[in-house]
Structure 1
């Protein structure tokens, strides 16, 4: 038998496959399914897609690592003194009453709110004006100026304490909450300016030019076109300014020496005694300090995500 005959016989369909009245079976496709008359053999994961446990296991470990300290803070704040229970039962609010009324946290809380809101307002307004100018008005040395703003983020605040203290002492701002507002605004502005200028650059200039053609002034076009599109970015910048002012301990400790002007971080430090620590009061004060921050981020979370692409235009 010749070689050509053997090859022809091997390539020919079998008698079973070509029997009358029976469709030839199709080979399984790349998706793991059989042909039209075949049975399903299962699905394959597309490409190198991770398995479900590969996603949820690291996320679960990270969530556990993050929430355990907060859980212990709640346990110490809600359980009675001397209790060693792993659960806050029976629940007591005596620690909150102690820190709010006896230790003056009601005053510390509203001082922190005032400093945070004032810092948010001043930082956002100045960053909005400066960021718009950096994005829309070309001038010589603009890139160098932006680089200098970025480099200021590498300077620790502790290095500026003595110069700032001398300036505030000369201006009569020591023991005034305005000293904290000015210091926080100065340290929050560089990053806020960079962020706002980036947001403005993502807004097409053609939109403002169209408003100018329609008779709007530059300010009217800014208010009608740019400002609404910058709302997510402004919320992101303002939230960072508020959180920075709320959590700052160093400036509040150095520039404020009177108890009626303390903020919450300084008030927390005074719950630590020389020879003992009231863990219940300390934990209750931590809960009071953390709750506003958690509530703010829960409300503005969607704006923070949108703020990273503020002004983007679909292509």
Structure 2
């Protein structure tokens, strides 16, 4: 009976894993098929095996850039966004826990409102600002924008962790002569790697796949990110499905690799959070 209950408890997790993996399998299969075989075998089970789609996706269609350029721009956007996001979110979320309860409540409500504002409402104002400052087609400026837009999520997630951070550690550090900032960087941050990696992955996934702002603010093909650049593979009368599938497959690999490398830090962060509570 206990074994049946254990299997039943794991079934939703297994089902969710299958639902998540199956589309990725179909994507990989279709990325190795020609345009004709994609229409003949919509699920990818059939047709000839070809690597031409990956070559076209990497080098780009005729007259356009390819993933070799888009990956570089996306990496610039991701690095700038993470630096801005964690650079402001870490101290902001920690020191907000030191505020009086009423002030802290107002502080969190402001960022809570920021999480429900649709990005589509910000497209026109951001375009006007970027155009006025001559920042269109600038991946660095877009990365800073993404870092600011995802700041509410970072503040709320890390605040829930820092609110239960053991004050005994910082009090002991103050007795040893460390100030607030010194104890924060030398005591709090090293013990918060898990939550930092977790929220960093959330922000990275958002920046890696966001296209609503990117398609408006990155007008030159040489400055576009992966999700924006892949839209250029579509023509008015003809769409290269094979290179699009190959590009999507290549674009998903970095996120999967980063997660496989850092998932232990996430698990460790969850365990630490349980101890602190």
TM-score normalized by the length of structure 1: 0.78
Q: Deviations over 1:214-258 (max 9, x none)?
A: 222333322332111111111112111111111110111011111
1:130 aligns with 2:95: no
Offset of 1:89 from its aligned partner?
6.8
Q: Is the 8 A contact 1:123 1:192 kept in 2?
A: yes
Q: Is the 8 A contact 2:32 2:49 kept in 1?
A: yes
1:79 aligns with 2:33: yes
Within 2, Cα distance between the matches of 1:173 and 1:314?
44
Offset of 1:209 from its aligned partner?
1.0
1:297 aligns with 2:259: yes
Q: Residue 283 of structure 1 is aligned with which of 245, 249, 257?
A: 245
Within 2, Cα distance between the matches of 1:196 and 1:105?
34
Within 1, Cα distance between the matches of 2:213 and 2:272?
32
After TM superposition, the runs of 4+ consecutive aligned structure 1 residues lying more than 6 A away are none
Higher RCO (CA 8 Å, separation ≥ 6 residues): 2
Equivalence for 2:136: 174
TM alignment of 1:175-194, pairs within 5 A: 175-194=137-156
Over alpha carbons, which structure has the higher Rg?
1
Equivalence for 1:235: 197
Aligned length: 269
3-state secondary structure, aligned to 2:97? helix
Q: Residue 158 of structure 2 is aligned with which of 196, 214, 231?
A: 196
Q: Is the 8 A contact 1:78 1:88 kept in 2?
A: no
TM alignment of 1:1-315, pairs within 5 A: 45=1, 50-51=4-5, 53-55=7-9, 57-83=11-37, 84=40, 86-87=44-45, 90-103=48-61, 104-138=66-100, 141-308=103-270, 310-313=272-275
- Over aligned residue pairs, what C-alpha RMSD do you find? 2.3
Within 1, Cα distance between the matches of 2:195 and 2:106?
24
Q: Structure 2: give runs of 5+ residues left out of the alignment.
A: none
Q: Is the 8 A contact 2:54 2:246 kept in 1?
A: yes
Q: Deviations over 1:33-87 (max 9, x none)?
A: xxxxxxxxxxxx35xx744553455444433332222122111111344335654
Q: Is the 8 A contact 1:233 1:304 kept in 2?
A: yes
Offset of 1:142 from its aligned partner?
2.1
Q: Is the 8 A contact 2:80 2:147 kept in 1?
A: no
Within 2, Cα distance between the matches of 1:141 and 1:280?
54
Q: Structure 1: give runs of 5+ residues left out of the alignment.
A: 1-44
Offset of 1:305 from its aligned partner?
3.1
Q: Is the 8 A contact 1:108 1:261 kept in 2?
A: yes
**Closer, same or farther: CA 54–314 of 1 in aligned 2, 3 Å:** same
Q: Deviations over 1:86-135 (max 9, x none)?
A: 54775321110011113322101111111011111110111011112101
**Closer, same or farther: CA 88–299 of 1 in aligned 2, 3 Å:** farther
Within 1, Cα distance between the matches of 2:159 and 2:51?
47
Within 1, Cα distance between the matches of 2:72 and 2:208?
11
